[in-house]
Amino acid sequence: MKKQFWGLAATAVLAAMVAVPASAHRQWMLPSSTVLSGDDVWVTVDAAVSNDLFYFEHQPLRLDAVKAWAPDGSEAPIENKATGRYRSTFDVHLTQKGTWKIASAVDGVMGSYDLGGKTERLPRGTTTANLAERIPAGATNVRTAESNNRNEIFVTVGEPTDTLFKPTGKGIELVPVTHPNDLFAGETITFQFLLDGKPTADLPITVIPGGIRYRDQLGQIDTRTGVDGKVELTLPEAGMYWLNVTTPQVEGEGEGPPPADAPPRRRASYVTTLEVLAP
């Protein structure tokens, strides 16, 4: 009975691993506004996984892991949550002045072990907390690697603050040199990216302007972090942009399922939505 469960789980994981790199699906959260004024302020957010930006046409983003933080660091409720066929939506009541963070950070462990002469993969949903119980007794040659996927957006009421940018040291994180809620077309934007708390060079960055459906070219900007994990961007047009940073892929990765005995690789990804205003 137990063996059958593990077998099914492993199949599901393999299917998931094949599906992810092969598709161009992008996950995103789109706030109704990033720069706000007033005393009783709300923001509403659409969240989805889709091909085009920012249209909901594939899957809703699950809200289980989405949380909000007020500028003082306290956690704030996600209100009016709903998940439809193509998108999820929720509201956040911005009861404090300053910069708020809305984020979904999913940490997992990928890996494999040998049992009864066969190599098995760790099931989806394995974390550092439940790793021990997911490795059956008698398993040998246990190989694991952590994965951290962070999808976060920022919204500011009044003056931008940077209290929520203290790195946790886990996965890829953004350190603003230019505040993400103070972006204007034609101005140089500088961000720094950390991997596991350390500034990391050569992290691939993709920036795509929203509104893909109504233009011929994707308009994708591909770059990498430089010295100190820093990157400079100049975006010519105002609008919403999707930014993605991932740990680099090795050659051939994503072209079919990895062999069962391939060692698990450290993976981390970062997604944010940036609003660039007209000067």
Q: Give the separation between CA 56 and CA 77, rounded to whole angstroms.
A: 24
Q: Which is nearer to other proteins, 39 or 216 (CB)?
A: 39
State the minimum distance, in angstroms, from the CB of residue 196 to other proteins. Answer: 34
Pairing label, strands 230-234, 188-195 = antiparallel
Q: Which is nearer to other proteins, 14 or 277 (CB)?
A: 277
What CA–CA distances, in Å, run from 79 to 37, 63, 131, 183? 20, 11, 32, 27
Q: Which is nearer to other proteins, 66 or 94 (CB)?
A: 94
Please report, as ranges, the residues that interact with other proteins according to CB under 8 A.
35-41, 158-160, 182, 184, 277-279
State the minimum distance, in angstroms, from the CB of residue 221 to other proteins. Answer: 24
State the minimum distance, in angstroms, from the CB of residue 192 to other proteins. Answer: 22
What CA–CA distances, in Å, run from 109 to 116, 141, 146, 245? 22, 16, 4, 19
The token pair that represents 97 in the structure block: 């002045």
Beta carbons within 10 angstroms of residue 263's beta carbon: 11
Q: Give the separation between CA 203 and CA 248, rounded to whole angstroms.
A: 6
Q: Give the separation between CA 156 and CA 37, rounded to whole angstroms.
A: 8
Pairing label, strands 118-121, 172-176 = unpaired
State the minimum distance, in angstroms, from the CB of residue 154 to other proteins. Answer: 15
Q: Which is nearer to other proteins, 160 or 211 (CB)?
A: 160
State the minimum distance, in angstroms, from the CB of residue 276 to other proteins. Answer: 12
Q: Which of 199, 190, 29, 205 is nearest to 100 (CA)?
A: 29
Q: Which is nearer to other proteins, 158 or 199 (CB)?
A: 158
Virtual CA dihedral for 33, 37, 39, 45, nearest 10 degrees?
0
State the minimum distance, in angstroms, from the CB of residue 207 to other proteins. Answer: 22
Q: Which is nearer to other proteins, 41 or 207 (CB)?
A: 41
State the minimum distance, in angstroms, from the CB of residue 155 to other proteins. Answer: 11
Q: Which of 199, 204, 186, 189 is nearest to 250 (CA)?
A: 204
Q: Which is nearer to other proteins, 37 or 168 (CB)?
A: 37
Q: Which is nearer to other proteins, 123 or 158 (CB)?
A: 158
The residues, any chain, with a CB within 8 Å of residue 65's CB and separated by 6 or more, are 104, 105, 106
For 67, the enclosing helix (H) or strand (E) is strand 66-69
State the minimum distance, in angstroms, from the CB of residue 209 to other proteins. Answer: 19
